[in-house]
Structure 1
């Protein structure tokens, strides 16, 4: 892998995390229209899936050639996103995010067990900085929340499933990210649909409720969500899953700032301190690699 590809993969993960940090805004807007909370994620996943139908038709040979290996990878990623989305319904957003973002821990362990990647001291330091920053932002000191309801368990499970997805993406670098993106949203929609039919079968939203949403949903999905999803499935193909989990923590940075701007949630010295720690954790390995490369170039010359 070239240095340019490595850099682009890291930037893609940072960008994807930023996009998912704004994820709550359209979901809340959909729910505020009166659509049942369980059906809001299905609407949100259904629209990008419909937008991707022309791509699915265009790429059907590649999708078919990928077989179940491609679909299993996409399904794992889609399941993680769906579990994470539903966790917001059954628990506090703060707890869902915190339990999900134990992901770097699970990713690092799985990468060691499955891929044989080393667990370096730098990675441990980065995880410590990131988790400490997260705890500071959420005002929990050094106390981890113990799962106490179904939403908490969904948040924890979503992080574990995403860690597995990151490992599978690393193993599936032969698959095009555009094909994975199609499967990602398709499986997210199917999992959400199954949950809705089981848990809220009588709350199906009408076309009159959905159509007015499309005027703002389609531009947001085409300009932000689809590129963000593509980045979140392309970048991890080239990076250690533990590093992917750390880079994705830009979601907390953008989530905290957007919540302060649009939801009136507090944003002060505590939030700034936490964001600085998370940003430091995300940049620790890239900066270290850059310094190492410069040192090697200097010694070579």
Structure 2
């Protein structure tokens, strides 16, 4: 068996993403609220990648529209996903986030003018049915979803839109797009805190600062680099399947460590959504080049 470095790195990054709820909830339990924690972690990452932003400032000025949408959608996706993980049930948040096939198909159809085959429509159908079951089935019409459910759904929508923007903005270097995404998340957090959405945490101990720095640099940054590097060094369909390991890791770890339990109906919904993600991954082609650029 030949050792495949990109596969190994992408698997490691996906596992790190699937376990990221552990340090997030741990630091949150030390007294750092969700928005403040997100502001600090992504502020650190934006600072680290600022050298690439400065290096490619001319290119970014030529593609201001793409940069704006990456900051909005990418930053919003990271903010919503992180906040939902901190404040919600890990399994429920992760499964709702993985409604990506729905948003990806709709976005690709209407914004990038992609052709949609029957398998992708089947994936959308399964994903919608899965979300319907997870949100309570027909009971969802009498009891609205929680605000964390809505944030988890929003994180998946923003992430899918960010992926479309990433693909359409071919002329902008990946390092700059990632840096703008981090900066966008930091900026959105700042606006929400200034607007009074949540009180900023000021009393942070020295030990907590160390944990925040360690999580930002040795977990979040490495997971981002591993994902980006792995995806760019293997077939698109293969990488899409490996990334699903993130969902599986989150479900297993939350069940064992946090003791989270879903109802049979919710697990059935999760199976539907996982099936939709597998369909989307298996039909992904390496020549999926957008017809529209921004």
1:225 equivalent among 214, 220, 223 = 220
Matched, 1:118 2:115: yes
1:199 equivalent among 183, 196, 199 = 196
2:181 equivalent among 181, 184, 190 = 184
Per-residue deviation at 1:80?
Answer: 1.6
Change (3 A) 1:139 1:242: farther
Per-residue deviation at 1:62?
Answer: 0.7
SS at match of 1:35: coil
Deviations 1:187-208 (A, max 9, x none): 11111122122225654323xx
Under a length normalisation based on structure 2, what TM-score does the superposition of the two structures give? 0.70
For 1:3, the equivalent position in structure 2 comes to none
1:66 equivalent among 60, 63, 74 = 60
Per-residue deviation at 1:163?
Answer: 1.9
Change (3 A) 1:130 1:205: same
Per-residue deviation at 1:252?
Answer: 2.2
Under a length normalisation based on structure 1, what TM-score does the superposition of the two structures give? 0.69
For 1:256, the equivalent position in structure 2 comes to 251
SS at match of 1:38: helix
Deviations 1:230-256 (A, max 9, x none): 4556788899x9999887544321111
Change (3 A) 1:258 1:172: same
Matches within 5 A, 1:280-295: 282-284=277-279
1:106 equivalent among 76, 95, 103 = 103
Per-residue deviation at 1:167?
Answer: 1.0
Change (3 A) 1:90 1:146: farther
Matches within 5 A, 1:35-50: 35-49=32-46
For 2:30, the equivalent position in structure 1 comes to 33
Aligned length: 278
2:51 equivalent among 57, 62, 72 = 57
SS at match of 2:149: helix
Q: What runs of 5+ residues in structure 2 fail to find an aligned partner?
A: 286-294
- Distance (Å, rounded) in 2 between the aligned partners of 1:253 and 1:279: 9
CA contact (8 A) 1:105 1:242 kept: no
- Distance (Å, rounded) in 2 between the aligned partners of 1:167 and 1:126: 18
Per-residue deviation at 1:225?
Answer: 1.6
CA contact (8 A) 2:11 2:243 kept: yes
Bigger drift between 263-272 and 214-223 goes to: 263-272
Per-residue deviation at 1:28?
Answer: 0.6
Q: What runs of 5+ residues in structure 1 fail to find an aligned partner?
A: 1-6, 291-301
SS at match of 1:199: coil
Matched, 1:84 2:81: yes
Change (3 A) 1:157 1:287: closer
- Distance (Å, rounded) in 2 between the aligned partners of 1:93 and 1:15: 19
Per-residue deviation at 1:288?
Answer: 6.5
Per-residue deviation at 1:165?
Answer: 1.1
CA contact (8 A) 1:38 1:89 kept: no
What RMSD in Å do the two structures reach over aligned CA positions?
4.6
Per-residue deviation at 1:23?
Answer: 2.6
For 2:208, the equivalent position in structure 1 comes to 213
SS at match of 1:204: coil
| Structure with greater proportional helix content | 1
- Distance (Å, rounded) in 1 between the aligned partners of 2:276 and 2:11: 12
- Distance (Å, rounded) in 1 between the aligned partners of 2:100 and 2:283: 22
Bigger drift between 174-183 and 273-282 goes to: 273-282
- Distance (Å, rounded) in 2 between the aligned partners of 1:15 and 1:124: 31
